[in-house]
Amino acid sequence: MRVGVRVHERRVTAALLHPDGTYTADETPVRADGVEASIDRLLGRIARSAPTVSSIAFDVSDALHLSEVAPLTVVRIAPRPPVALADEPRVGDAPIIHVRGGHTTLGEELAPFDTAGFRASAAAIPPGSRVVITSVGALVNPAHELAAGEILLELGGPLSVVFSHAFASNSFATREHTAILNDALVPDAEALATALALVAGRRFPDARLSVTRNDGGRVPLSRLPAEPIHSAFSGAPVDFLGAAALCGLDDGDLVLASDDGLALGTLRAGAPAVIPRLHWKGARLSTQAAHLVPATEILLHGRTTTPRLVRVAGAPLPGWLEGGEVVETDHDLRALGAACAPLSDWALGTVGAVNAAEMAHELQAAEARVRARLAAFGALPSSVRILESQLVATTYEHARVVSVRVRGVAGDPVGGLLTGRRARHAAQR
């Protein structure tokens, strides 16, 4: 049996996906003893009714918080600093250290890394600071970012060091924004992952623990502390996945009507269609996210196939959507979506390739890495599906430089998971 758990500050909800294609739901309020104790009570009830649980997937998008207590310092590595320092993008009041260095899109050095200059500047970074390092060309050659990190580790002052090349984007600003936000989420993610692992480990020591992602998939819970940015916005995609499971949809469009409005998305081979970046408070973030847009009458007009419609009980429904077939539910779709979410992994990067044979080799190698990681996550190799595998030319860049983009999932398509009768909601208060 698979279990999905939605972690919220006010209540914790669970969906139990049974082998016969039915599901049951349960929930408990968060009391004065905190979220961890509430999860323990909920999992304790599940253990008494269904002692055999193969996996537990947590959605923590409502529980992750930014931690900005420690001071932030930004390191920007480029051949030269901006001409007008007063006009450069700022990150709040964080000091910015400019260092000479950087690489081209072919990985060739634009300028030697200014080791001596950075050592002098780094000595002034306050102890206990969070440091984010972004270098020109680091996505192809991260050598200068790593060199800066080694110097900081030698000094021993920073609390944490984050490298922008960990996030796949050709945009310097996008990588920097993503690294800064990810670093601010890490302390809360570390505490949350530890608490969830301890509680679930006591109740279900043999269950595989995972956390949902912004793309509508899931990965092992151990990945949460390193990459919380990829789980911080998973709520809407997982709601959408739960709605798809409820109406048995594997391929096609779906409209979800909830208290947050109407959301339109597309399922392809049992997983949500995705986009490579997310807009958040005016900044672009490098994270693969389910492509959900507000559904409007104009947007839906003239489609050859009418989208499926799932409505959360009590959610308003505009007149132009009334009259069609509607699947209505009063269950927590996010918990159900977490239980149904497939294991997911990506291979993203920028590589140099001279001819078609080299490009094909790079693509095959990326697919092999995705398959191997999914197998390491616990997936059966036969259940792995490569949903996306392509090379993309980098805009306005060298012809020999291409972006690799491979997406793999493992597990049954979401539309066929609920084949039996839906069980009644068994909320515990």
* Residue pLDDT, tens place only, 20-30: 889 999 999 99
Tokens of 385: 């599906």
Tokens of 216: 């509508």
Burial of 310 (0-12, 13-18, 19+ CB in 10 A): buried
On the question of pLDDT at 319 being above 50, the answer is: yes
- Beta pairing class for 343-352 and 401-410: antiparallel
pLDDT for 428 equals 36
44/419: higher pLDDT: 44
pLDDT for 396 equals 58
pLDDT for 300 equals 86
As a whole number of angstroms, the distance between CA 164 and CA 139 comes to 8
Over range 245-271, report the average pLDDT.
Answer: 93
* Residue pLDDT, tens place only, 38-74: 999 999 999 998 878 999 999 999 999 998 788 999 9
As a whole number of angstroms, the distance between CA 100 and CA 352 comes to 24
pLDDT for 167 equals 94
168/351: higher pLDDT: 168
Q: Residue 85's Cα: distance from chain center in Å?
A: 34
Q: What's the chain's length in residues?
A: 429
Over range 128-154, report the average pLDDT.
Answer: 94
- Beta pairing class for 283-285 and 289-290: unpaired
End-to-end C-alpha distance for the chain, whole angstroms:
24
As a whole number of angstroms, the distance between CA 419 and CA 346 comes to 29
CB 192 within 8 A of CB 266: no
As a whole number of angstroms, the distance between CA 166 and CA 292 comes to 25
Tell me what the pLDDT averaged over the chain comes to.
90
As a whole number of angstroms, the distance between CA 327 and CA 342 comes to 23
Over range 95-99, report the average pLDDT.
Answer: 95
Over range 250-254, report the average pLDDT.
Answer: 94
pLDDT for 420 equals 67
On the question of pLDDT at 19 being above 60, the answer is: yes
Confirm whether pTM is higher than 0.75.
Answer: yes
As a whole number of angstroms, the distance between CA 313 and CA 252 comes to 23
Nearest one of 341, 256, 310, 331 to 13, comparing CA atoms = 331
On the question of pLDDT at 14 being above 60, the answer is: yes
As a whole number of angstroms, the distance between CA 216 and CA 343 comes to 9
As a whole number of angstroms, the distance between CA 318 and CA 311 comes to 12
